[in-house]
Amino acid sequence: MIAEVENGQIRAITQASDYPEQEYNPRGCLKGLSYINLIYGPDRLKKPLIRTGAPGKGEFREVSWNEALDYAATKLKEIAAKYGPESIGFIFQVGGTGYVQKGAFVALSTLAGWNIHHPYDMNGDLPTFYPMTFGVQSEEAEPLEWLNSRYIAVFGSNIMVTRLPDAHFLVEARNKGAKLVVFDPNFSATAAKADEFVPVKASSDAAVGLGIARVIIEEKLYDDAFLTTYTDMPLLIREDNHKRLKAEDVQGLSKPADVPAYREAYVAYNGQFLAVHPEKFDLPENVILEGEVEVTLKDGNKIMAKPSFQLLKESLNNYTPDKVETMSGVPKDTLVRLAREMAAAKPLHVVYGASNYQWYHGDLKGRAIALIPVLTGNIGQSGGGISTYAGQYKIRMNLAKWWVPQGKAQKWLPWLYVLHGPTKTMKAKYPANGLKALITGWGNPFDQHNMANKLREMKEKGELEFVMTMDIQMTTSGKYSDVVLPVCSWYEKTELTATPVHPYLQLQQPAIKPIGEAHSELWIARELAKRLNPEFENHYFPSLDENTAAEKVIEMLLAGGGPNVAGITLDQLKKGPVRFKSAAPGNRQIPFYEQIHFKKPFPPLSLPAKIEQTGQFLKSGRIEFYKDEDAFLEAGESLPVHKPPFEESEYALNPATREKYEFAYITRNSLYRVHSNHSNNVWMNELQDGKPRVWLNPEDAKAKGIRQGDYVEVYNDRGKVHGYAILDPGNGRNCVVFEQGWWSRYLNGESFNSLTYPFIKPTNEVYFVPGIWVPNTAWNECLCDVRKVGDKQ
Amino acid sequence: MKLGMVIDLERCIGCRTCTVVCKEHNAQPPGIWWNRVFTPGAGEHQAAVGKDGKLQMNYLPVSCQMCENPPCQKVCPVGATYTDERGVVLVDYERCIGCRYCLAACPYGVRQFNWEDPRKAKAQVGYQDGYTYGYPKDVRAKNGRLVYTQDRPVGVAEKCTFCVEYTSQGQEPACVLSCPEKARIFGDLDDPNSEVSRLVRERQTYRLKEELGTAPKVFYLAPAKEQL
């Protein structure tokens, strides 16, 4: 972005349009371009504040930085001494948008022994099927690659609203001849641009994916060489205990000596039993995918075993076109036709949107839908694969030197446990005394992460003894905080950023002086560090001013950042964005290119995790559809299946909801906000008449006596929210859609997240790697009802 | 020279980025929008139109259509509205008397009126330290007329100028530069080699309310999908 500055103030913002590939220019949408309303708006914080009134009331006194920092440091030291430092939690929101400033506080949390809440799962953006199936956090084809697709199947992703700068690639791909099909309960803006819109019942996508997979398998349209080489499909599963058969248990076989501890050698059969090396894709083509074999174990026992593919094929008998029509509402002939089309068109790219996986069974849906590009051999190909496009989570370089001082162990606490409480099956460590203090920045958790009103109650009841917020503006979270610190906006500090979608490293440089007394987070971290423990300060270049220190950090990160940033310099970044390196031609971002083309084992690294951490997800070194960990077996989910929504969540929590609440409460992203950001942007609010909207199908509205513009209440036993009814014939039946992100001051003090609930699914607790294999927030797994409370205004 | 614009509705995704950059660069106060994007037929922007499974959602950006035969210019009793040598319809803010005939005459509803002092309107937002936004300098046409100023006087009419502050210096209008979908093409309709001329010549374009004989210089390319 370019800020046009006159007399020290930004008069207008324009996209810089300096990506070397013209196709990416211009990047930036109505929100970023109207950011001046936040920089200079009435909610901008100019001085440090200490709360004087009740939490949430917004009563503060202005204090000096010294007083604010001394107060915060004293409280944090007291709480750490009383309850342990792990009872202090730090929320930093999406690492990709701030390696330097966010890293400063991750480092301080590490030094001080605080818990860190990873934003990816907190936000519900983690596609849990991805670590299960491909062993990675997530992977995404860059939008330029969409132009190479012949077929794009979108399952519940609204790219035309949530990926505005990339949306044109979808239109262009279609104009180049790719077929664009959108599966969604709602006729979204993306559905409107599609060749074909396929309405589905809410959260029934697994049935659709499995139905398509069944047609592909029954009609032998799958790529058996791909399945044999790269997937777990040929690996034998024991019928006695439903576990994968290990080579070391089979008579005459042994585990190769060079198999790492986090891997396992399994078994395939081609007339002989073969020990399958987890780091070599060298199985002969004639291994069986179907059938059943008798195996003699080392102890002499004989058992029966079947390849995963055989079991999948059997399991897919539950997903005949007739049955899928009942489960999903997709007509059987349509399903069969689409399956044949998808199998015939290469490359095929599947987009599985976050709104679709922010459900209790989001993992199952992803595993089911992933079958389509895998069965057809579309992984690792230009224009092919499966992508998610949610969140700015991705760490693209080695940040350890800045984020993890002295290699100290970090403590991570998944956010859902804070709201839900600990579970018996959790692998993460819950603090002995619970969460007593919260440090937040770059976000507004008291609106955005307040499921069932829990977070606000924790503060109101005094359970949370101290909250410190760093922000450019006074948000709802600020009002609930004991100390509020004014920070520099993006245009007032130095920062290094990278998004997962398009593979560029970018520098943000100050265009104006900080407003009021604002400082960068690096400076705040340094000042706080000094007060907590004088030794901590050394990590933060204490002799340098904050922007020079930030540049030093960037130079340090570039020097030790690893192969993705090899050779990139600060000077280069000052001139414009620089493309990351990759193994694919032209440094293109094509997920799993190395695995498929250079036969490297799955998974590739998901930074900052080590391969020992993520390698254990796929012990076979292959794409896995059969999961044999106990939690999967107990849930009946060793293979992907369709489970309808609410059965294991809402109905299990309270059986009465089955009769009481018939509407799904969907909190989608708004065109006018980035989550909670821009909720107070005066122009964005003018464009929507300043009104929170509740989207309903006209038939449902009619049954409820609701007309366009009526003031309605959406409610369940946990909470409520009000808004103005929009009757949209494209809205799915039995869905109430509310656009999330409104600050509660626009909702009469209510929270749209007072209705939602922090469900935790046991399969998401099988391993614990922060932000990668962890319970994910299921915003949309929520039932409600709606009623009219007032006439049109 | 005859400056014109082609808007490709196949590419338009209704994101309203053009609406916002227009407001920002041209310093429009709260309540005034020179450039709007609608979802024709829908009760709300980006709601579907249709029923029984036959649905569509198309968008229509509407700003000054830069008519060759502009009704607003004809009714202006003081000659404040005029067409410059580039074919751009402009308002002289020093000559406008605020009679609002032009607002009534414009068939496209794009003319906006400064009912209150824009500085006061902006102050009501509560910006810090008297902050104001938009292109900061006055722009006078060759004939000396004031065709752009950051805060227009109370009681004058205003509208899209094809970003006279930028296009008079050879740059493109903000909406064209900033459209993330590259749906807007700007250029000289008198130049047969320009992209706008080529599109008008080779593609099937239409103009809004063509039957009125206003002869707009803003052309639209229809969305490719079948219309309900």
CB of B125 within 8 Å of any CB in chain A? yes
Which residues make beta-bridge pairs with A440?
A91, A469
What is the least distance, in Å, from the CA of B71 to any CA of chain A? 28
In this structure, what DSSP letter does residue A123 have? T
Determine, for residues B15 and A728 on separate chains, whether the beta-carbon distance falls below 8 Å. no
Residues 170-189 of A with CB under 8 A from B: 171, 175, 187, 189
How do beta strands A466-471 and A437-441 pair?
Answer: parallel
A15 contacts in chain B (CB < 8 Å): 177-178, 180
CB of A673 within 8 Å of any CB in chain B? no
* Interval A346-386: pLDDT, tens: 999 999 999 999 999 999 999 999 999 999 999 999 999 99
Determine, for residues B13 and A193 on separate chains, whether the beta-carbon distance falls below 8 Å. yes
Q: Which tokens sit at A405?
A: 């001082």
Determine, for residues A41 and B44 on separate chains, whether the beta-carbon distance falls below 8 Å. no
Return the closest-CA partner of residue A13 out of B142, B135, B51. Answer: B135
**From the DSSP assignment, how many helices (H) and strands (E) are in chain B?**
7, 14
CB of B164 within 8 Å of any CB in chain A? no
B34 contacts in chain A (CB < 8 Å): none
* Interval A70-94: pLDDT, tens: 999 999 999 999 999 999 999 999 8
Per-chain mean pLDDT for chain A = 97
In A442-494, at which residue ranges do the beta strands (DSSP E only) sit? 466-471, 483-486
Measured CA to CA in angstroms, residue A295 lies from A269, A292, B61 at distances of 10, 10, 69
Share of chain A above pLDDT 70, in %: 100
Determine, for residues B180 and A175 on separate chains, whether the beta-carbon distance falls below 8 Å. no
For residues B206 and B15, what is the distance between their CA atoms, to the nearest angstrom?
22
For residues A33 and A36, what is the distance between their CA atoms, to the nearest angstrom?
8
Cα-to-chain-centroid distance, residue A252: 45
Which residues make beta-bridge pairs with B18?
none
For residues A428 and A769, what is the distance between their CA atoms, to the nearest angstrom?
8
Determine, for residues A30 and B17 on separate chains, whether the beta-carbon distance falls below 8 Å. yes
Question: Model confidence at A557, in pLDDT bands (50, 70, 90)?
Answer: very high
Return the closest-CA partner of residue A14 out of B221, B173, B58. Answer: B173
Of A41, A192, A727, Cβ closest to residue B57: A192
Q: Is the pLDDT of residue A100 over 70?
A: yes
Determine, for residues B174 and A40 on separate chains, whether the beta-carbon distance falls below 8 Å. no
Burial class (CB in 10 A: 0-12, 13-18, 19+), A485: buried
Q: Are B62 and B45 in contact (CB under 8 A)?
A: no
pLDDT score, position B226 = 66
B50 contacts in chain A (CB < 8 Å): 729
Residue in chain A closest to B173 (alpha carbons) equals: A14
Per-chain mean pLDDT for chain B = 96
Mutate to test the interface with A, among B23, B44, B171 (most CBs of A within 10 A): B44
pLDDT score, position A537 = 97
* Interval A471-504: pLDDT, tens: 999 999 999 999 999 999 999 999 999 988 889 9
pLDDT score, position B130 = 84
Question: Model confidence at A210, in pLDDT bands (50, 70, 90)?
Answer: very high
Of A11, A27, A175, Cβ closest to residue B133: A11
CB of A293 within 8 Å of any CB in chain B? no
Q: At a CB cut-off of 8 Å and minimum separation 6, what does B159 contact? A: B34, B63, B64, B89, B91, B110, B111, B112
Determine, for residues A28 and B180 on separate chains, whether the beta-carbon distance falls below 8 Å. yes
* Interval A622-654: pLDDT, tens: 999 999 999 999 999 999 999 999 999 999 999
Which residues make beta-bridge pairs with A696?
A727
Burial class (CB in 10 A: 0-12, 13-18, 19+), B77: exposed
B172 CB-side CA count, 13 A: 16
* Interval A704-738: pLDDT, tens: 999 999 999 999 999 999 999 999 999 999 999 99
* Interval A117-173: pLDDT, tens: 999 999 999 999 999 999 999 999 999 999 999 999 999 999 999 999 999 999 999
What is the least distance, in Å, from the CA of B78 to any CA of chain A? 32
CB of A404 within 8 Å of any CB in chain B? no
B29 contacts in chain A (CB < 8 Å): none
What is the least distance, in Å, from the CA of A185 to any CA of chain B? 12
Of B42, B56, B131, Cβ closest to residue A9: B131
* Interval A227-272: pLDDT, tens: 999 999 999 999 999 999 999 999 999 999 999 999 999 999 999 9
CB of A334 within 8 Å of any CB in chain B? no
Determine, for residues A160 and B13 on separate chains, whether the beta-carbon distance falls below 8 Å. yes
Which residues make beta-bridge pairs with B60?
B38
What is the least distance, in Å, from the CA of A584 to any CA of chain B? 27
CB of A427 within 8 Å of any CB in chain B? no
Share of chain A above pLDDT 90, in %: 98
Name the pTM for this structure: 0.97
CB of B13 within 8 Å of any CB in chain A? yes
Return the closest-CA partner of residue A338 out of A198, A217, A218. Answer: A198
CB of B105 within 8 Å of any CB in chain A? no
What is the least distance, in Å, from the CA of A515 to any CA of chain B? 9
Return the closest-CA partner of residue B204 out of B40, B3, B9, B38. Answer: B9
Determine, for residues A33 and B178 on separate chains, whether the beta-carbon distance falls below 8 Å. yes
Cα-to-chain-centroid distance, residue A378: 23
Mean pLDDT of A397-422: 96
Determine, for residues A15 and B177 on separate chains, whether the beta-carbon distance falls below 8 Å. yes
In this structure, what DSSP letter does residue A493 have? S
Please, what is the angle between helix A65-83 and helix A521-532, to 10°? 60
Q: Are A400 and A407 in contact (CB under 8 A)?
A: yes
pLDDT score, position A791 = 83
Q: Are B116 and B154 in contact (CB under 8 A)?
A: yes
Q: Which residues of chain B have pLDDT under 70?
A: 226-228
